[in-house]
Structure 1
Amino acid sequence: MRTLWKSIILYGLLTAGAVLSVYPLIYMLLTAFKPMTLLFEFPPKLIPSELTWDNFAEAWASQNFSIYMFNSVIVTIASFILIFALSAMLAFSFSRFQFRGKRMVFGILMGSLVIPSLTLIIPQFMLIRDLGLFDSHWGLITVYAAGGIPFTTFLLKGFFDSISRDIDESVEMDGGSAFKLFTAIILPLSKPAFVPATIFNALVIWEEFPWALTIINDPLKRTLPIALANFQGQYTTQWGIVFAGSLIAIVPIIVLFVLLQRYFVAGITAGAVKG
């Protein structure tokens, strides 16, 4: 009987937590379909008596929303390609080579993970300005890539370490180089590790707001979070349009996760145990 009550309490708490977690998304979804005249009705109703697509059409057509989404797609893809290329080479170097200062360099790289990104905005701004990348997508891509490299390197190194060193010896006996080992063996075997890296980096870059607001002045070069912020007025805010735009914005991330979800858990745990 005690075990039964423990199970009831446990599942009850889990259910309550799940409801609290999902409720904001459900409220946002239903509000996005509400006509403007029903947003502030009293008493409030969770399920609207009338549904409309007008908020989605208005969100897509206003504030250069479609242009901002295209910019976000370009910046996210370019940033991840740069993160992938540099992190994979770094992880391979830390995993397969011995060199002076290896532990110290890796420790510094991992230590950068605990630095809040907002504390770096001023030095990043000065660096990007001096490089001539201010008010350009490359100013975003460079900083996003630099921010994603430490975590991605850590994730890939764990997976590379789990790949047997016997493969290295076989490639060496066949006269293969380290480059061949990296490109022909290690990378193809490491596909599961790139899935969580893809999702995490895409999510962070897609929703990043402070740096995009700081570095981009040209309205036609801004990214999606800026468009969502522009929907909120100083005195009044059309929440139906805000929520509709937010739903449109999260669709690409949801699609990406759905396509890669079966590899996600395997990729997270792949490098946990050396084999």
Structure 2
Amino acid sequence: MTAIRTQTTHARSGTAAARGAATTFRYVVLIVGALVMVTPFVYMVSTSFKAQAYVLTFPPQFIPNPATTANYSEALTSQNFLLYFGNSLIVAVTATAFSVLISSMMAFAFARFAFVGKELIFRILLAGLAIPAVMLLIPQFVLAKYWNLLDSLPGLIVFYVAGSLALNTFLLRGFLASIPGELDQAMQVDGASAWSRYWRLALPLARPAIATATIFTFLACWDEFPLALTMINSPERRTLPLAIAAFHGANATQWGLVFAASLIAVIPVIIVFLVFQRHFVQGLTSGAVKG
């Protein structure tokens, strides 16, 4: 009996040691991966506080010495940067609001109503996700010209909304379909209309999925470059990605200035994520990505 107990103890010790080694290995891999991901951003932040003479020093300095905020001051005061920032903010916020609203209505219809061709329409909608956005540039340009939407911020908003509807509808439909149908039936017994069930039941319960769709849509609209480059000609109607590209071209060697402008452009994305992060994680894990 003693020998058996000793063997069992050794086996448990070996299993615990193996688990500990596996856990340590996972942590090491995660730490190394995190460092690889974070290092370029840290260097970008560091370079934005360097004078031009210290940008290309070797070995690279992650702690700028001396540090300066001149790059940020120049970025904010030159080449109508704040105007372009405002243009992007208007376009991204408006497009995100309309996209999430319209796609939530579509998702509610797909999840709760039965109508002829529902599955076919939904599959056609999803098929649009397989088409690369670059292939749509020429058709979008032709439509914008036909509808007199070229060189205008409303034109960008229309196409940004249209381009994000398929993904948002897919995300929201899966979440809304997971909501018990008995809740809908109870509201119908009380005489609630379809709009009331959508506004008072579906939207409050779908907050995690809506947060997920909001973050994805805002990020896509804020960073979009090819369509804006194709449609916008007037300098005063440029969005921030176009401005930074032109800024980079005009100051090709001033990396501190370019990085400072890029970091300023990241601020709204960080704010949106911080506002919606509590619901974002829940939306990813509780059904917002179900088909």
**Same fold by TM-score greater than 0.5:** yes
Name the counterpart of 1:180: 196
Deviations 1:140-164 (A, max 9, x none): 1111101110111111111111111
Q: How many residues align?
A: 274
Change (3 A) 1:13 1:68: same
Change (3 A) 1:236 1:161: closer
* Shift, 1:234, TM fit: 6.8
Deviations 1:173-206 (A, max 9, x none): 1222212211222122222211111111111110
Pick from 66, 70, 81: which aligns with 2:82?
66
* Shift, 1:273, TM fit: 9.8
Change (3 A) 1:38 1:203: same
Name the counterpart of 1:77: 93
* Shift, 1:39, TM fit: 1.3
Equivalent-residue separation in structure 1 for 2:20 and 2:102 (angstroms): 52
Change (3 A) 1:36 1:273: closer
Name the counterpart of 1:139: 155
Pick from 253, 265, 269: which aligns with 1:249?
265
* Shift, 1:8, TM fit: 2.9
Change (3 A) 1:166 1:241: same
Name the counterpart of 1:46: 62
Deviations 1:215-251 (A, max 9, x none): 0011111100011111223784210000000100001
Unpaired stretches in structure 2, ≥5 consecutive residues: 1-16
1:61 aligned partner, one-letter code: T
Is residue 36 from structure 1 mapped to residue 52 from structure 2 by the alignment?
yes
2:255 aligned partner, one-letter code: W
Name the counterpart of 1:230: 246
* Shift, 1:79, TM fit: 0.5
Contact 1:134/1:216 (8 A) holds in 2: yes
Q: Percent identity?
A: 46
Name the counterpart of 1:15: 31
Contact 2:72/2:261 (8 A) holds in 1: yes
Is residue 197 from structure 1 mapped to residue 182 from structure 2 by the alignment?
no
Q: Match of 1:48, SS? A: coil
Change (3 A) 1:234 1:259: closer
Equivalent-residue separation in structure 2 for 1:90 and 1:119 (angstroms): 25
Contact 1:162/1:273 (8 A) holds in 2: no
Pairing 1:118-133 to 2, within 5 Å after superposition: 118-133=134-149
Unpaired stretches in structure 1, ≥5 consecutive residues: none
* Stretch deviating more after TM superposition (41-50 or 31-40): 41-50
Name the counterpart of 2:14: none
Pick from 113, 124, 133: which aligns with 2:129?
113
Contact 2:87/2:240 (8 A) holds in 1: yes
Change (3 A) 1:168 1:8: closer
Name the counterpart of 1:265: 281
Is residue 27 from structure 1 mapped to residue 27 from structure 2 by the alignment?
no
Equivalent-residue separation in structure 2 for 1:260 and 1:273 (angstroms): 17
2:196 aligned partner, one-letter code: K
1:97 aligned partner, one-letter code: F
1:31 aligned partner, one-letter code: T
* Stretch deviating more after TM superposition (59-68 or 175-184): 175-184
Is residue 104 from structure 1 mapped to residue 104 from structure 2 by the alignment?
no
2:178 aligned partner, one-letter code: S
The structure with more radius of gyration: 2
Which of structure 1's runs of 4+ aligned residues deviate more than 6 A?
none
Q: Match of 2:108, SS? A: helix
1:82 aligned partner, one-letter code: F
* Shift, 1:137, TM fit: 0.7
Change (3 A) 1:19 1:273: closer
Change (3 A) 1:47 1:165: same
Deviations 1:95-119 (A, max 9, x none): 1111111111000111111211001
* Stretch deviating more after TM superposition (80-89 or 24-33): 80-89
